[in-house]
Chains A and B, each alone.
Chain A
Amino acid sequence: MTDEREITLTINGTERTLEVEPRRLLVHAIREDLDMTGTHIGCDTGNCGACTVLRDGEPIKSCLMFATQADGSEIMTVEGMEDLPESDGELHPLQEGFHEEHGLQCGYCTPGMLMAGKALLDENPDPDEAEIREAISGNLCRCTGYQNIVKSIEYAADELAAQPATDGGTAAVEPGSSADVAANAPGTTGDADGPTAADDADGSDQFDGYDTEGGFSCGVENCCGGPSTDAEHHGDNA
């Protein structure tokens, strides 16, 4: 046998020390050594994202990392969600969202989806649909077609936005927020992509080659031989 080494993980707030072989994957340490089977192993290749956990707040695939590499870090798994302040000892708003919006069928991908969703909402509490889809792009679901997963995360974003309002905080968000989801979610059309898509689609942006006759334009009138990286304009060479 190879040597085992001692590592310490703070998993869902509890410090745990364990002996692992260097070849032991983090996901196996979590599931088998710590007996926390909420984190799933799906594909064994790093594709499916079912094993996603948060390491020091960042989503990572725990099947693509050795346990030794997580020594000293803070790991959060799906089991830790109910202890978060926003859960109030019950389901986390994300979990509630997956329940309310039918964000799962077989449920295999769900722990990973929840972790990816958590990482997104921590960074960006009010994501649009494209941002949600990007955030879960490393997580495969073979049942839902993703529509309801997106809705579930939108649901959680609205719930979380409404929460501070109950403490007298950001009141403005509160009443409109759930209506927003209702308006957005059912028939999510191409419009959801918002202004950038519309900009391209209006036809005014068609490309027809380059203006080279007049030299350059840096956008400043009567300047210049071209934009400079240090934003300094140069002599008129037109």
Chain B
Amino acid sequence: MKAAPFEHHEPTSLSQAVSLIESLDEPTILAGGQSLVPMLRFRLARPDTVVDINGIDELDYLHEADGYLKMGALARHADVEDSELITERYGSFADAAPLVADPQIRNRGTIVGSIAQADPKGDWGSILIAHDGEVVAAGPDGERTVPIDELFLLPYDTSLGENELITEARVPTPVEREGSAYHKLKRKTGDYAMAGVAARLILDEDGRIETAGIGMTAVDITNARAADAEDHLEGERPSADLFEAAGELAAEQSNPESDEHGDASYKERMVEVLTQRALGDAAERAGVTKRRVTP
């Protein structure tokens, strides 16, 4: 099926895009298009106007600046996957990027588009939660930042205004003794997550967990924070027992639905396991030495 006809705009600057979006009635913003294009052609979405932002070069970046890792609205999954900066410094991002869909889709799809789509099965929302990230939204009144915890409302629904677009997603640059990881369970290569967990740990000089962040994918109506597990971790020393307890708390806080991938209790158990694994990797990347036994 073909998309219903729409009016089409291709702004080449952010200011042009912002004024366009302000003047149009409920425009849809097209970035990577890997979810939107099929939605349009199946007519699940029938916008009167589409604003294609792919020509706005100033939104195409992935770099560190002002204490943040900043991803412009045109940073693609493949940009994260191929970035040395990411490989060296952002464990969770490096874990997640190759697990997003497939190579062709990673060449087109964007991080910000995935977040703006607000699909609870999207991976990046969980990672932003674990990292206490935020998005920058541009609108007629200028720019504002929205903490990730205030962005997602419902599946495919965010707190953005109708005249706003997300120009950037960002997370704080890592500090000393910080590590992060992402673990994802999916039925086959290229699938959305059946369950996924992002974890980030910052340890104090004494080896105790100073900050813990845990975001969960596909086990609630939005990407969700495992706040009880985070509280349980903070102030403690990393240990397998501690991470097991955190996994149980995360599972309790998750709210998965039974579907063809598995029933809810199975998914909860998977949250528990993935949380332990993500925390284990995050701790190791933060500098905790794993104790190994040789048989």
Residues in chain A within 8 A of chain B (CB atoms): 1-3, 5, 21-25, 28, 44-47, 49, 52, 58-61, 63-66, 68-69, 116, 119, 134-135, 137-139, 203-212, 215-218, 225-229, 237
Contacts and interface: CB of A to CB of B under 8 A. Distances in A.
A192 B31 CA distance: 39
A94 B34 CA distance: 28
Contacts of A45: 38
B59 to A, nearest CB: 15
Interface in B237-274: 237-241
A2 B104 contact: no
B237 A212 contact: yes
A39 B241 CA distance: 54
A5 B237 CA distance: 62
Contacts of B50: 22
Contact of B5 (A21, A119, A208, A228): A21
Contacts of A28: 2
A138 B190 contact: yes
Interface of B: 1-8, 10, 30, 33-34, 37-38, 40-41, 50, 52, 54, 78, 89, 98, 101-105, 107-108, 174-178, 189-190, 203, 205-207, 237-241, 280, 283, 286-295
Contact of A210 (B103, B175, B239): B239
Q: Is the interface of A mostly helix, strand, loop or mixed?
A: loop
Contact of A23 (B4, B89, B205, B288): B4
Nearest to B5: A2
11 contacts: A23-B8, A63-B37, A63-B38, A64-B108, A66-B33, A69-B33, A137-B102, A138-B104, A210-B283, A226-B203, A229-B176
Contacts of A69: 33, 52, 54
B34 to A, nearest CB: 5
A77 B251 CA distance: 47
B102 A229 contact: no
A204 B174 contact: no
Contacts of B283: 210
Given A206-B292, A206-B293, A138 B10 contact: no
B5 A23 contact: yes
A23 B3 contact: yes
A45 B44 CA distance: 12
A237 B102 contact: no
B97 to A, nearest CB: 13
A137 B10 CA distance: 32
B37 A215 contact: no
Contacts, number: 161
Contacts of B294: 203-204
Given A60-B107, A68-B52, A228-B176, A216 B89 contact: no
Contacts of A59: 103-104, 107
Contact of B6 (A2, A116, A237): A2
Most chain B beta-carbon neighbours within 10 Å: one of A5, A203, A210:
A210
Contacts of B1: 44
A211 B105 contact: no
Contact of B38 (A1, A64, A218): A64
A216 B288 contact: yes
**5 closest Cβ pairs, A-B complex:** A138-B102, A22-B8, A209-B240, A226-B177, A23-B3
A116 B288 contact: no
A60 B177 CA distance: 39
Contact of B287 (A1, A61, A134, A226): A226
A44 B1 CA distance: 8
A208 B293 CA distance: 7
Contacts of B189: 134, 137
Contacts of B54: 69
Given A138-B104, A210-B238, A212-B239, A229 B178 contact: yes
A23 B48 CA distance: 12
Given A138-B102, A210-B239, A210-B240, A227 B287 contact: yes
Given A23-B5, A44-B1, A65-B33, A58 B107 contact: yes
Contacts of B280: 207
Given A23-B8, A23-B40, A65-B33, 13 more contacts: A3-B8, A21-B5, A23-B2, A46-B37, A205-B292, A210-B239, A212-B207, A212-B237, A217-B287, A218-B287, A226-B287, A227-B177, A229-B176
Contacts of A216: 177, 203, 207, 287-289
Contact of A116 (B4, B103, B176, B206): B103
